[in-house]
Amino acid sequence: MSLFISFEGGEGSGKSTQAERLAQRLRDCGYEVLKTYEPGGTTLGDELRELLKKHRDVQLAPESELLLFAAARSQLTREVIRPALQKGTVVICDRYMDSTTAYQGYGRLLPPETVEAINQVATGGLRPDLVVFLDMPPDESIKRKRQPRDRIEIENASFHQRVRDGYHELARRDHQRWLVINAATLPDQVEQEVWARVEPLLPEGSSRTT
């Protein structure tokens, strides 16, 4: 048995920090853990990340952005995530398919059926067992980000609010698989809330190191 957990949220909500804290806690408990991220985690993914995130002067059509994120995800899913899960490893991913639904679907206003179809192709139907959504008002989360901000972080307030609203809608539709946490609280408190939800899901046996 394996376990796949993704961390989602707006810019500066603490996803990377909490993903690393959970990974370390699991390792301390003796579990084999793979922590990865999107876009990236593979040679192709890291090249696309540079284009999608860092180059603020690059003008991408929303559809092009959608397909580039999907290409990075497809490579990560097939090259990294699925093989790890097949070995019984706990996989933690800093962003996954729900980021595309929130950012390119709700944020860029692309048709939801198009986004869903592209996500299905990119992931081969693989969905996280648990989605941890670190929620914070966009104006607060952006304040946390250090300069210079990337091409998505510099989008206007209405874009980031649509993204947040999208995340809430996704969580409402699939509340049993989502954990929504107020990311404005202390990091230690967030970590404890995450652990309280993750611990009962932990696989036994083959995923434990000896």
Domain ranges of the chain: 3-201
Q: Which residues contact 105 (CB under 8 A, 6 or more apart)?
A: 112, 115, 166
pLDDT tens digit sequence for 76-91: 999 999 999 999 999 9
Q: Which residues contact 9 (CB under 8 A, 6 or more apart)?
A: 15, 133, 134, 135, 136, 141, 167, 183
Average pLDDT in the chain: 92
- Per-residue pLDDT at 162: 97
pLDDT tens digit sequence for 4-44: 999 999 988 999 999 999 999 999 999 999 999 999 999 99
> What homologous superfamily does CATH list for 3-201?
P-loop containing nucleotide triphosphate hydrolases (3.40.50.300)
